[in-house]
Chain A
Amino acid sequence: MMNESSHAAPRDHVAAGVASPGRRKFLQIAGITMAFAAFGCDDDDDDDGPTGPNDGEVDLGSGDTGILNYAYALEQLEAAFYTQVIVTPYTGITAEETTILTDIRDHEIVHREFLRAALGANAITALEVDFSDVDFTSRASVLGTAKTFEDLGVGAYNGAGQLLADANLLLIAGKIVSVEARHASAIRDLLNPNSADFAGDDVVEAATGLDAALPPAAVLLAAGPFITTEINAGSLPTT
């Protein structure tokens, strides 16, 4: 699963886009996501264009199936990450942290396998992930990445709810998102115990008390550096 190659160009671009945030920069970042239907990075062809199917590209599909595949992709990413965290624990990991991270790994595996089973023949293939930017020996790197993934997962499910047509699937998504939020809270609290960070103002807007809700384009842009497989999200519902 692990891929050690890096994808400096797209990652550097994103980094440049957020180095001096301002309205223009935000618009630019968001613009990337809407301008192209394909996300992720293609290792062996830097000139690969955003249009048309490529070798190894996965198409999430349309309708509720597309949204479930989108969730399945994110759960694959999370499960792969925590599996590696438990295989190669960071230096100085505590018993409490091991328990929490093992639980989270198991939850993400359950989410991943549930979605694969629910999707059946419509499920996308296994994604190739790239954690070359994560230092698995470093507590700060691992927990920082976990925070990113969990907050991203919460925002993704919150944003995807309105894209689902089937109320039963909406309920399933609701059952999962609150567990992702529980994870996010615990990871954030490990990083800064007993502070406000478990539901910090950086992710829960203070004025409204609302968590993030992100469109698939924004989520896949943020997840892109960690996913090698090119993902085509062009057929996902938009309303």
Chain B
Amino acid sequence: MTTTSFQKQDLPVLDTLDPELLERVVDRRGAIGNITAATAALAVASVPLGLGVLAKRAFAQGGPLPQGIRDVLNFALTLEYLEAEFYQLGLAAPGLIPVGTGPVFVQISNHEDAHVALLQAALGANAVAKPTFDFTAGGALADVFSNYATFLALAQGFEDTGVRAYKGQAGALITDNAILTTALQIHSVEARHASKVRRLRAQKGWITGSAVDVLALVGVYVGEETVTQAAVNTTGFAGVNAATEAFDEPLTMAQVLAIAGPFIV
């Protein structure tokens, strides 16, 4: 690879950015020592796809969001409300979360709060109100905030469902690049969460088949046993388990709402 020119004009996308946003992100990243090339690229590339774009879209540019996209974002917001309140209550429950794993749940909680704020900003006046949640599912999970095992199991169910929910809506956002990308950026964070929570439960970070192991949550793993992708049978490459684990499957909006339903009053 030969490199001879490093001018800003070689990267036209930068000209479209809010200079203050660029400075804010780049300066913040720059303060971190021992930065890698990948992280550096991230710092530049993540700017146009983040809060700025969504907020501008919502408040200044492009007019109101189409109804179809609003519906998807409100669906996502509902799930984020659920997750955010779940972790807030978990962190507030005395003696629930072991000290050693506190940083994990603080980080997850912070992300869910940020996702709520982001989606609210994008939707503006069209944002749905937060529902009333009952994390005992009508009493079936009475110890959800006093028994760490119950809390963890529910966390796994919510995270894996969240991953599948965002995935299922990607196609509905394909007409709006900025919103699609933002949704994907949330989606992969939910997957990071899911992997960690699963591993706290001595499970693999990835989903093998469609085995159900999350208490009262029915249907969380329906379809995860799929091994045929785009008409390609993937079982011959590294075995059946790897074939199911290597692809996370989507859920429809209706499937997700059926899973979340018992927790929404």
Q: A178 contacts B187, CB within 8 Å?
A: yes
Known: A17-B37, A103-B245. A31 touches B5 (CB 8 A): yes
A162 to B178, CA, bound (A): 8
The answer to whether B245 and A31 have CB atoms under 8 Å apart is no
Q: Are B171 and A170 in contact (CB under 8 A)?
A: yes
Give residues 12-34 of B contacting A (CB, 8 Å): 12-14, 22-23, 25-27, 29-30, 32
Residue of B nearest to A218 (CB): B41
Interchain CA distance A132-B230 in the complex, whole Å? 36
Provide the bound-state CA to CA distance between A15 and B194, in Å.
34
Q: B107 an interface residue at 8 Å Cβ cutoff?
A: yes
Q: How far, in angstroms, from A184 to B196 measured CA to CA in the complex?
A: 10
Given known pairs A21-B29, A182-B194, A198-B192, the reply for A203 and B206 (CB within 8 Å) is: no
Chain A residues with CB under 8 A of B27:
23
Decide: B245 and A209 in contact? CB cutoff 8 A: no
> Is B174 within 8 A of A41, CB to CB?
no
Which residue on chain A has the smallest CB distance to residue B100? A194
| Complex Cα–Cα for A32 and B111 (A) | 33
- Are B174 and A167 interface neighbours, CB within 8 A? yes
Stretch at the interface among A87-95, A134-142, A147-155: A147-155
A177 proximity list for chain B (CB < 8 A): 184, 187-188, 191
Chain B interface, number of residues (Cβ within 8 angstroms)? 94
- Specify which of B12, B37, B40, B108 is in contact with A199 (CB 8 Å cutoff): B108
Residue in B26, B190, B239 whose beta carbon sits within 8 Å of that of A26 in the complex: B26
Contact B14 A49 (CB under 8 A): no
CB closest chain-A residue, reference B121:
A208
Is the CB of B186 closer than 8 A to any CB of chain A?
yes
Q: Which partner residue on chain A sits nearest B51 by CB separation? A: A208
The residue of chain A having its C-beta at the shortest distance from the C-beta of B111 within the complex is A209
Within 8 Å CB of A29, what residues of B?
37, 40-41, 44
CB distance from A151 to the nearest CB of B (A): 6
Q: Please list 30 pairs of residues, one from A and one from B, whose beta carbons are closer than 8 Å in the complex, sorted by A's number.
A: A26-B30, A26-B44, A31-B5, A39-B1, A48-B2, A100-B205, A109-B237, A113-B234, A159-B181, A171-B167, A171-B170, A172-B247, A175-B249, A175-B250, A177-B191, A179-B245, A179-B247, A181-B188, A182-B191, A182-B205, A185-B191, A186-B199, A196-B107, A202-B39, A210-B50, A210-B186, A211-B188, A214-B46, A215-B13, A222-B41
- 7 A-B pairs with the lowest CB-CB distances in the bound complex, closest first: A209-B114, A218-B41, A181-B191, A185-B195, A106-B242, A178-B191, A182-B195
